[in-house]
């Protein structure tokens, strides 16, 4: 079995042209991850620039309203740039800089990773180009303008379904064309090794903080950690330091779109099967001939036909559970958290909240749930209004 | 002599690529015969994939056309089974890993053997991952073609040493597609490969003109042309048989003179 495996998943299924690039990246990452200076600089960026540690907030009103388990929200939405994506973007950009790269390229779905990458590129004085499905540039127009404000060039991708998977295709194609001075800041725990491991390490700060924060507040570990999954970076970040704590349930919420039984969903764990795509062996939505299926979700960030290989491994091992959440459930949760706690969550994160709304009332009051609020919802307000039939002229 | 090695016997090899099912399978059948009759030495039959990450726009669009027009792996197998008895030159499939894996690697490779396919080219399975396919290819007597790129450097000798059929030299960085100029020192890559193995080396990516074909043939054992042919098919559709024939003849003449 080749490198970067999680059970049978993972690997490096990429064109030969990129092999030396990922091998170099692996070598440099393995050096810098243990380098004191690198870690000092990264921690300073996390704390002084991105606003870490993010709060672990006790959602008292929500807890009382649901009448079951005690609910905490991990506030990744409060990070600079408004989502967990900045954790990974800072880590990779710092590494790329140490490697002497001058230019960052990245894919983005909802635009959160694109914004995070454009932000750190501005900070570090690097060139930045973002690839985004044309459909997503339309439903997340605000983020496109935001990236341009930050000095990035945004390329609308018109191939295939014009969403996240096509943006990933196009970013790989760009990377193959220009490797020497360019680093591909992959936005999730996917792609060829070392990306799934490296991105997970940069995001693992989330669960590291949750653990110490909950121990301080409650004196014990939570009973469940809930996060949304597309590629799965915020979820793996929220799960990672609990994987060995077998009593903590790890629950990933994937996008069921208009329903897992309809053709319009992105529920990889529910409907996908084992495949090899985007550099990795994992689960993918595909047809009987291995053609990648067009997927759909109201959330541009979860609108992806695969899932990171470590999640596939956690599922196989029975360590994590994955549940489908429909558009309707997510939109209801979006509105619920806004009204109940005065926190407008990203539509992606709303998938995790939606599951908590089902789970919490079934649990006794002495149980504790942590929901990872991976991002804030400002970017989604116009889309939610449209979903509700309200025209707000955005 | 390997099965694919036959294409390089006593001459420079001209390897041609087309996407099966573009614009439809009937035309693909005619195109294959036409290319054989006009001097092609080996044909790469592309099984279209929804997300071909190593391809430029020309072949991406061909894949899309083929899939939209109903081409499936099963129908392409049927086409090859039908034409194989009439064709003497080696035939390989070029496709992406998930097309094989999603069909079932054992089932796919056994079917290839049954219908007379001689090898596979799978651009998203690098040397490190070849065990995904190699045991199945060996069992079913398929030659799994290895690729080297301008970035391969110290990897070339190791890859060449273990390569089967022929070595596919990717001429340039980037995806497939016509290029006005090939800047890579192909001679250097061939030299590195030949120091490790006597495997034939064919150059692909970016070649379209007879001049480029001649130049590349003088530095390697053969050339591969895809996008330039697919572009003609995109332009003429069902009427592309004759223009493709004329084009491949012009290239074959140059290659076979070198």
Q: Edge-to-edge, what's the strand order for the sheet holding B13-19?
A: B143-144, B119-121, B91-94, B42-46, B13-19, B222-225, B201-204, B167-170, B146-148
Residue of B nearest to A291 (CA): B50
Is A374 an active-site residue?
A: yes
Task: Write down the catalytic residue from A107, A254, A310, A348.
Answer: A107
Output the average pLDDT for chain B. Answer: 97
Rounded Cα distance, A56 and A74, in Å: 5
SS3 A79: coil
Residue of A nearest to B108 (CA): A289
Rounded Cα distance, B125 and B13, in Å: 24
Other Cβ atoms closer than 10 A to A103 = 15
Q: Which stretches within A99-204 are classed as H helix? A: 112-124, 134-139, 141-149, 164-177, 195-203
Helix, strand, coil percent content, chain B, rounded in steps of 5: 50, 15, 35
CA within 13 Å, CB half, A225: 31
Is A208 an active-site residue?
A: no
Q: Do B151 and A17 touch (CB under 8 A)?
A: yes
Best of B52, B69, B77, B129 to substitute, by most chain A Cβ atoms within 10 angstroms, is: B129
Q: Do B126 and A13 touch (CB under 8 A)?
A: yes
Rounded Cα distance, A88 and A117, in Å: 9
Q: Which stretches within A219-373 are classed as H helix? A: 233-239, 268-271, 309-316, 327-341, 347-359
SS3 B134: helix
Nearest residue to B72 via CA among B94, B40, B52, B99: B99
The shortest C-alpha distance from B182 to chain A (Å) reads: 13
pLDDT average, residue stretch B22-37: 98
What is the pLDDT, as a whole number, of residue B88? Answer: 97
Task: Write down the catalytic residue from A85, A165, A315, A379.
Answer: A85
The shortest C-alpha distance from A103 to chain B (Å) reads: 17
> What are the residue ranges in chain A where pLDDT is below 50?
none
The shortest C-alpha distance from B112 to chain A (Å) reads: 15
In tens, the pLDDT along B112-148 reads 999 999 999 999 999 999 999 999 999 999 999 999 9
Nearest residue to A348 via CA among A152, A113, A189: A113
Question: Tell me, what's the ipTM?
Answer: 0.96
The shortest C-alpha distance from A281 to chain B (Å) reads: 9
What is the pLDDT, as a whole number, of residue B16? Answer: 98
Contact partners, residue A191, CB within 8 Å, separation at least 6: A168, A278, A279, A280
Inter-residue contact B176 to A177 (CB < 8 Å): no
What is the pLDDT, as a whole number, of residue B183? Answer: 87
In tens, the pLDDT along B142-185 reads 999 999 999 999 999 999 999 999 999 999 999 999 888 888 99
Inter-residue contact A348 to A302 (CB < 8 Å): yes
Rounded Cα distance, A128 and B158, in Å: 35
Inter-residue contact A108 to A167 (CB < 8 Å): yes
pLDDT average, residue stretch B61-72: 97
What is the pLDDT, as a whole number, of residue A393? Answer: 65
Is A107 an active-site residue?
A: yes
| Of B53, B101, B148, Cβ closest to residue A290 | B101
Inter-residue contact A289 to B111 (CB < 8 Å): no
Which percentage of chain B shows pLDDT scores above 70? 100
Q: What is the maximum span of chain A, computed from C-alpha positions, in angstroms?
A: 57
Residue of A nearest to B171 (CA): A17
What is the pLDDT, as a whole number, of residue A394? Answer: 52
**DSSP E strands, chain A:** 5-6, 9-13, 56-58, 70-75, 103-108, 127-133, 153-157, 182-184, 224-229, 249-257, 273-277, 279-284, 320-326, 368-373
- Residue B150 with chain A: CB contacts under 8 Å: 17
Residue of B nearest to A294 (CA): B50
SS3 A35: coil
Buried-state track A256-268, b at ≥16 Cβ within 10 A, e below 16? bbeebeeeebbbb
- Residue A133 with chain B: CB contacts under 8 Å: none
Q: Is A46 on the interface with B (CB under 8 A)?
A: no
Q: Is B149 on the interface with A (CB under 8 A)?
A: yes
In tens, the pLDDT along B203-225 reads 999 999 999 999 999 999 999 99
Rounded Cα distance, B20 and B47, in Å: 6
Other Cβ atoms closer than 10 A to B187 = 11
Q: Do A291 and B49 touch (CB under 8 A)?
A: yes
């Amino acid at each position: 079995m080749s490198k970067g495996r999680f059970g049978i998943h993972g690997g490096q299924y990429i064109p030969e042209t990129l092999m030396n690039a990922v091998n170099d990246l692996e070598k440099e990452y393995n050096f810098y991850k243990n380098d004191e200076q690198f870690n000092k600089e990264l921690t300073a960026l996390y704390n002084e620039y991105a606003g870490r540690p993010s709060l672990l907030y006790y959602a008292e009103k929500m807890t009382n309203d649901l009448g079951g388990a005690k609910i905490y929200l991990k506030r990744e939405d409060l990070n600079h740039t408004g989502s967990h994506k900045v954790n990974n973007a800072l880590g990779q950009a710092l590494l790329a800089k140490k490697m002497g790269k001058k230019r960052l390229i990245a894919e983005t779905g909802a635009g959160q990773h694109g914004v995070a990458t454009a932000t750190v590129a501005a900070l570090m004085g690097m060139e930045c180009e973002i690839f985004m499905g044309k459909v997503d540039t339309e439903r997340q127009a605000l983020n496109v303008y935001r990236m341009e404000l930050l000095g990035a060039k945004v390329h609308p991708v018109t191939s295939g379904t014009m969403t996240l998977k096509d943006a990933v295709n196009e970013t790989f194609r760009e990377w193959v064309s220009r490797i020497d001075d360019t680093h591909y800041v992959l936005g999730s725990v996917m792609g060829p090794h070392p990306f799934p491991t490296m991105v997970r390490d940069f995001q693992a700060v989330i669960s590291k903080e949750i653990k110490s924060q909950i121990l301080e507040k409650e004196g014990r570990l939570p009973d469940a950690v809930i996060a949304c999954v597309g590629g799965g970076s915020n979820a793996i970040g929220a799960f990672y330091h609990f994987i060995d704590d077998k009593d903590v349930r790890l629950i990933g919420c994937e996008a069921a779109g208009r329903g897992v039984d309809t053709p319009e969903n992105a529920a990889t764990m529910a409907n996908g099967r084992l495949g090899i795509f985007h550099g990795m062996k994992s689960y993918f939505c595909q047809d009987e001939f291995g053609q990648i299926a067009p997927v759909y979700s109201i959330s541009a960030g979860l609108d992806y036909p695969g899932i990171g290989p470590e999640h596939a491994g956690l599922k196989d091992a029975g360590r994590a559970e994955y549940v489908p959440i429909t558009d309707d459930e997510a939109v209801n949760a979006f509105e619920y958290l806004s009204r109940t706690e005065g926190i407008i969550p990203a539509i992606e994160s709303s998938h995790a909240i939606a599951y908590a709304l089902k789970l919490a009332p079934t649990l006794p009051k002495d149980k504790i749930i942590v929901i990872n609020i991976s991002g804030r919802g400002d970017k989604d307000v116009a889309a939610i209004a449209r979903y509700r039939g309200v025209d707000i002229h955005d | 002599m390997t099965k694919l090695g036959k294409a390089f016997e006593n001459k420079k090899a001209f390897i041609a690529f087309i996407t099966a099912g573009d614009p439809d399978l009937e035309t693909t059948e005619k195109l294959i015969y036409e290319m054989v009759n006009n001097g092609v030495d080996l044909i790469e039959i592309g099984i279209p994939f929804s997300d071909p990450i190593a391809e430029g726009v020309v072949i991406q669009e061909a894949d899309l056309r083929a899939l939209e027009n109903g081409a499936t792996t099963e129908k392409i197998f049927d086409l090859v089974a039908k034409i194989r008895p009439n064709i003497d030159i080696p035939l390989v499939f070029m496709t992406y890993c998930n097309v094989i894996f999603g069909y079932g690697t054992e089932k796919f490779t056994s079917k290839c053997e049954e219908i007379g396919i001689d090898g596979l080219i799978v651009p998203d399975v690098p040397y490190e991952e070849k065990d995904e396919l190699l045991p199945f290819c060996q069992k079913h007597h398929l030659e799994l073609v290895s690729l080297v790129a301008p970035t391969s450097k110290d990897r070339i000798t190791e890859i060449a040493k273990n390569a089967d059929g022929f070595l596919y030299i990717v001429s340039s960085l980037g995806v497939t597609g016509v290029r006005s100029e090939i800047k890579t020192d192909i001679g250097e890559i061939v030299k590195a490969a030949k120091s490790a193995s006597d495997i034939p080396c064919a150059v692909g990516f970016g070649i379209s003109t007879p001049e480029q074909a001649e130049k590349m043939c003088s530095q390697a054992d053969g050339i591969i042309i895809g996008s330039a042919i697919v572009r003609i098919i995109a332009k003429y559709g069902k009427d592309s048989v004759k223009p493709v024939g004329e084009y491949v003849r012009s290239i074959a003449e140059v290659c076979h003179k070198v």
